[in-house]
């Protein structure tokens, strides 16, 4: 009986030891880590977060002097730097050219930027149905080739309800509204984006 009890205790100790060595994170832990990273980025960047009701009360604008970002229902934080050419709205099947910077908020480094490189313009096709909007990167797009994904991050499409052609926005995009890489790794990204309808 003593040998059986000793064997049982050794097995329990081994199981606890293996569990203690498991450093994989659950999805809930990864989401918590993401939320903490976004909160730290907002604090460190001196961002003032406003509600959607305040955003609508301000005629869907954000105050740049106060470094305001609106937190939208999608979870995306948006600052409208320049609304663009009023009335010149995006339509189904339009091609949109984008210049942007992509910054990894979690690991704190610049992932990609085509803002300063004249020949590196990314483009995607905007599609709209009665129930959804989507964007598909063009096959010659650098983003498409770099990330091997044709799907435009959903967070990039959210601003189009409030902006026009030749607009400039800044976004904090949580992983579930980001690229396939962001979603699989649960990483939030910051974007500085300039859109132009082609």
Mean pLDDT of the chain: 88
Q: 112 or 49: whose pLDDT is higher?
A: 49
pLDDT at 29: 95
Q: Is 75 left (phi over 0), alpha (psi -120 to 50) or beta?
A: left
**Is 66 a residue whose pLDDT tops 50?**
yes
* Strand partners of residue 109: 104
Q: Looking at residues 105-123, what average pLDDT do you find?
A: 86
**Is 19 a residue whose pLDDT tops 60?**
no
Query: From CA 50, how far away is CA 119, in angstroms rounded?
Result: 37
The lowest-confidence range among 12-16, 90-94, 110-114 is 12-16
Q: Looking at residues 53-67, what average pLDDT do you find?
A: 96
pLDDT at 9: 46
Query: From CA 88, how far away is CA 187, in angstroms rounded?
Result: 33
pLDDT at 117: 81
**Is 12 a residue whose pLDDT tops 70?**
no
Residue with tokens 């610049």: 110
Environment class of 14 (CB within 10 Å of its CB; exposed 0-12, middle 13-18, buried 19+): exposed
Q: Would you give the distance in Å from CA 74 to the centre of its chain?
A: 11
Reported confidence tier of residue 20, pLDDT bands at 50, 70, 90 = very low
**Is 121 a residue whose pLDDT tops 90?**
no
Reported confidence tier of residue 140, pLDDT bands at 50, 70, 90 = confident
Q: 43 or 141: whose pLDDT is higher?
A: 43
**Is 17 a residue whose pLDDT tops 70?**
no
Residues near 67 by beta carbon (within 8 Å), at least 6 away in sequence = 45, 46, 47, 48, 79
pLDDT at 114: 85
Q: Looking at residues 162-187, what average pLDDT do you find?
A: 94
pLDDT at 6: 46
pLDDT at 7: 45
């Amino acid at each position: 009986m003593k040998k059986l009890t000793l064997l049982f205790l050794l097995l329990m100790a081994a199981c606890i030891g293996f569990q203690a060595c498991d450093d994989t994170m659950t999805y809930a832990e990864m989401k918590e880590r993401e939320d903490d990273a976004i909160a730290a980025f907002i604090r460190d960047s001196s961002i003032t977060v406003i509600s959607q009701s305040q955003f609508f009360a301000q005629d869907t604008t954000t105050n740049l002097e106060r470094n305001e970002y609106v937190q939208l229902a999608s979870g995306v934080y948006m600052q409208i730097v320049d609304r663009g050419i009023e009335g010149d709205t995006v339509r189904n099947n339009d091609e949109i050219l984008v210049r942007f910077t992509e910054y990894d908020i979690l690991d704190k480094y610049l992932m990609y930027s085509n803002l300063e490189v004249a020949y590196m313009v990314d483009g995607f096709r905007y599609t709209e149905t009665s129930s959804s909007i989507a964007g598909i990167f063009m096959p010659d797009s650098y983003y498409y080739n770099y990330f091997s994904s044709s799907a435009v991050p959903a967070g990039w499409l959210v601003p189009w309800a409030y902006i026009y052609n030749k607009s400039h926005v800044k976004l904090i995009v949580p992983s579930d509204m980001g690229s396939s890489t962001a979603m699989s790794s649960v990483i939030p990204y910051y974007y500085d984006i300039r859109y132009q309808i082609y």
